[in-house]
Amino acid sequence: METLTGAGVSPGAGYGAAFLLRVTIPEPPAGARHDGDPVAETARAEAALARVAAMLGERGAACGGEAEEVLRAQALMARDPALSAEVAGLVDAGVAAERAVYDAFLRFRDELAEGDGYVAERVADLDDVRDRVIAELTGVPMPGLPGEAGAPYVLVAHDLSPADTATLSREVVAAFVTERGGPTSHTAILARAMGVPAVVACAGATGLVNGTMVLVDGTSGVVTLAPGEEEVRSRLADAGAAAEPAAVTGPGRTADGHRVPLLANIGGPHEVAAALENGAEGVGLYRTEFLFLEREEPPSLEEQVEVYREVLAAFPGAPVVVRVLDAGADKPLPFLRPTAPEPNPALGERGIRLFRVYPDILTTQLEALARAAEGTTARLQVMAPMISTPDEAAWFTALARDAGLADAGVMIEVPAAALRAADLAERTGFFSVGTNDLSQYTFAADRQFPSLSPFQTPWHPALLDLVALTAKAGLPTGICGEAAADPAMACVLVGLGATTLSMTPTAVPWTRTALARHTTSDCHAAATAARRAVTPEDARRAALAHLPGLPAS
Ligand code: PEP
Ligand code: MG
């Protein structure tokens, strides 16, 4: 049977006819001129930009959640006054509106592509906005998705833009397969939020013939072309058995009753509903940076208090772990500039390192959190990102405690912190392992770079060793990177000593079911077997041998 392999980034299995989305908006001819009325031509360009911005905003508002954040950011690109000025300047010089738009976006694109990780990753989003504006101006229709296709289809593309995927649902799409993208790309994030299986970085995917029946395993990353009936039946049944989301309810626990609180990763109040609907027992990672992005000034103390209180109030009596602002590197902010240009931003002044330069922003945030907690019963915990030394852990913990936040901890995202977890443990209250960055820094492999996405799998034994070392230091140790969203990996993490698991809300029911079907000794055996392996593939196979009922693809 012919297969393609990529990175499985959203668990489960999906089967359907491949639908290839081809987005090619022709480049407007170089040297295209308008008929001599720059005012009318500029107005035409402005109107197209405004229509696209409005469409993106409306789609975002209709979707909510992560999709809304992403589409709102794209709408802002279309509304950027500097871009409009650039277009107007080119039109004034006689360039036709569509070519002026193309050239203006190109200039911004080059600036972005040279920028930091998060910004550079937005190039695809910028291209998508440009294509939509040019399509508006030239009357070329944007390629659409099949409306009522009869049966759910497998959407295959070079890459998917947030505007394409945001309006889809699992009733319409059986799975996503993209040739580009990584575990933290938009396709991956939105697929997980929708609960649709997805495989990204899948070489050869766009060579598929439209209508080919494909079976997509969003856990192993294997895409099987024209599979046999038996193969489809058993793979779908395996995936279903691995997590019949409604089958197990209640708090997270293993089959022998060992409690493992299952928490949600959220980016703000807009994701609280999803966390609650999926039965999260609290929040294990509140990424506060969404409140700070796309702004010229940090949000005021009062604004922060209001937003944090909204989240805390939604979880009475439950843990809510708030991560203080994780800026820098892939999330640059104009009011938190590094002290010098950074040739390698991911290795520069990010996370806690920026707070050493701008301590006031941290103390204001801590004060806002302390005030927000007043009058709520949520068990507020605060933690700092990008900690690499015991000194940093001590500094942050003391500041948090000075602000009245007794329960302070640190993220383990840097190998140095994991290696010296015992020293950090003497200086802080808890650990939360960010497996996304811990993978990035363990393998010196940019987490946003498509061809390096195989390094992002948490099944690498080197990563598992660092998690084990962290847990061994004896502090409560949560996992909040994407690893906890993989049901088999969740069992392994518990076997390594994780005390809580935090994940994208839709993954909570899957993980709950996987844990409920296995004992702590299954989890330990799976963890030990995985650490004895040499490759991530063998580690997964070895772990699954101790976790009956999980798909062994
Ligand atoms: C991580 O690095 O694993 C993490 C949870 O933080 P973020 O993905 O926000 O960097
Ligand atoms: Mg991180």
What's 211's domain CATH number? Answer: 3.50.30.10
For residue 317, being part of any structural domain is answered with yes
Q: Does 129 share its domain with 193?
A: no
Q: Does 457 share its domain with 346?
A: yes
DSSP class of residue 336 equals S
Q: Which residues of the chain have pLDDT under 70?
A: 1, 23, 63, 65-66, 114-122, 143-144, 146-150, 184-186, 239-247, 551-553
By DSSP bridging, strand 198-200 and strand 7-10 are antiparallel
Cβ(285) – ligand 1 distance below 6 Å: yes
Residue ranges of alpha helices (H) inside 9-149 are 38-63, 65-78, 81-92, 97-113, 117-121, 123-138
Which pLDDT score, from 0 to 100, does residue 12 have? Answer: 85
Which pLDDT score, from 0 to 100, does residue 242 have? Answer: 47
Which pLDDT score, from 0 to 100, does residue 283 have? Answer: 98
Look at ligand 1, atom 9, and give the residue with the nearest C-alpha. Answer: 287
**How is the beta sheet containing 213-217 ordered, strand by strand?**
3-5, 222-225, 213-217, 13-21, 153-157, 173-178, 198-200, 7-10
Q: Does 130 share its domain with 152?
A: no
Ligand nearest to the CA of 433: 1
Please identify, among 138, 159, 193, the residue that sits at the C-terminal boundary of a domain.
138
Distance CA 201, CA 453 (A): 7
Q: Does 316 share its domain with 453?
A: yes
For residue 246, being part of any structural domain is answered with no
By DSSP bridging, strand 477-479 and strand 500-503 are parallel
For residue 319, being part of any structural domain is answered with yes
For residue 99, being part of any structural domain is answered with yes
Distance CA 413, CA 411 (A): 6
158 flagged as catalytic: no
434 CA distance to ligand 1 middle (Å):
5
What Cα–Cα distance (Å) separates residue 90 from each residue in 31, 39, 43, 123, 438? 11, 12, 13, 22, 45
Q: Does 96 share its domain with 175?
A: no
pTM exceeding the 0.85 threshold for the entire prediction: no
Distance CA 326, CA 207 (A): 39
> How does pLDDT run across 13-64, given as a tens digit for each residue?
899 999 988 767 788 999 899 988 999 999 999 999 999 999 888 877 776 7
Closest CA to 339 of 361, 357, 362, 326: 357
Structural contact between residues 503 and 322, judged by C-beta atoms closer than 8 angstroms: no
Cβ(434) – ligand 1 distance below 6 Å: yes
Structural contact between residues 195 and 170, judged by C-beta atoms closer than 8 angstroms: yes
Q: Does 203 share its domain with 122?
A: no
- Which atom of ligand 1 is nearest to 285's Cα? 5
Cross-strand partners of 16? 214
Q: Does 387 share its domain with 452?
A: yes
Cα radius of gyration rounded to whole Å, the chain: 24
Which of 326, 467, 503 is the best mutation target for the ligand 1 pocket, counting ligand atoms within 8 Å of the beta carbon and taking the most?
A: 326
Which pLDDT score, from 0 to 100, does residue 287 have? Answer: 95
Q: What's the helix, strand, coil split of the chain in %, to 5?
A: 50, 15, 35
Q: Dihedral sign, CA of 422, 425, 430, 436?
A: negative
Ligand nearest to the CA of 438: 1
Query: Residue 284: phi, psi to the nearest 5?
Result: -100, -15
Which pLDDT score, from 0 to 100, does residue 438 have? Answer: 97
Distance CA 94, CA 88 (A): 10
| CATH number for position 303 | 3.20.20.60
460 flagged as catalytic: no
Please identify, among 88, 122, 138, the residue that sits at the C-terminal boundary of a domain.
138
Q: Does 61 share its domain with 170?
A: no
Of 480, 518, 523, 546, which one is the catalytic site residue?
A: 480
Please identify, among 184, 214, 231, the residue that sits at the C-terminal boundary of a domain.
231
Query: Residue 161: phi, psi to the nearest 5?
Result: -85, 150
What Cα–Cα distance (Å) separates residue 96 from each residue in 62, 77, 111, 132? 34, 21, 23, 17
Owner of token pair 């040019």:
134
Structural contact between residues 380 and 369, judged by C-beta atoms closer than 8 angstroms: yes
Which pLDDT score, from 0 to 100, does residue 335 have? Answer: 93
- Which atom of ligand 1 is nearest to 330's Cα? 10
Q: Does 536 share its domain with 474?
A: yes
Which pLDDT score, from 0 to 100, does residue 243 have? Answer: 45
Cross-strand partners of 283? 264, 320
DSSP class of residue 159 equals S
Residues spanned by the domain of 55: 38-138
Question: How many domains in the chain?
Answer: 3
Ligand nearest to the CA of 330: 1
Which pLDDT score, from 0 to 100, does residue 348 have? Answer: 95
Which pLDDT score, from 0 to 100, does residue 211 have? Answer: 85
Look at ligand 1, atom 10, and give the residue with the nearest C-alpha. Answer: 437
Which of 411, 443, 489 is the best mutation target for the ligand 1 pocket, counting ligand atoms within 8 Å of the beta carbon and taking the most?
A: 411
Distance CA 150, CA 231 (A): 22
For residue 29, being part of any structural domain is answered with no
For residue 242, being part of any structural domain is answered with no
For residue 251, being part of any structural domain is answered with no
| CATH number for position 52 | 1.10.274.10
Q: Which amino acid is at 534?
A: V
Q: Does 121 share its domain with 184?
A: no
CA geometry: angle 415, 420, 421, nearest 5 deg = 95
Owner of token pair 């030239």:
138
Of 34, 186, 460, 546, which one is the catalytic site residue?
A: 186
256 CA distance to ligand 2 middle (Å):
32
Q: Does 459 share its domain with 530?
A: yes
Distance CA 477, CA 471 (A): 6
Closest CA to 161 of 198, 195, 199, 123: 123
Distance CA 291, CA 302 (A): 13
For residue 517, being part of any structural domain is answered with yes
Look at ligand 1, atom 4, and give the residue with the nearest C-alpha. Answer: 434
Q: Does 125 share its domain with 150?
A: no
Q: How many CA atoms lie within 13 A of 458 on its CB side?
A: 32
Q: Dihedral sign, CA of 147, 149, 150, 151?
A: negative
Contacts of 187 (CB under 8 A, 6+ apart): 9, 159, 160, 165, 176, 178, 181, 198, 200
Task: Enumerate long-range contacts of 30-34, CB under 8 Å, 24 or more apart.
Answer: 30/99, 31/99, 32/95, 32/96, 32/98, 32/99, 33/94, 33/95, 33/96, 34/91, 34/94, 34/95, 34/96, 34/97
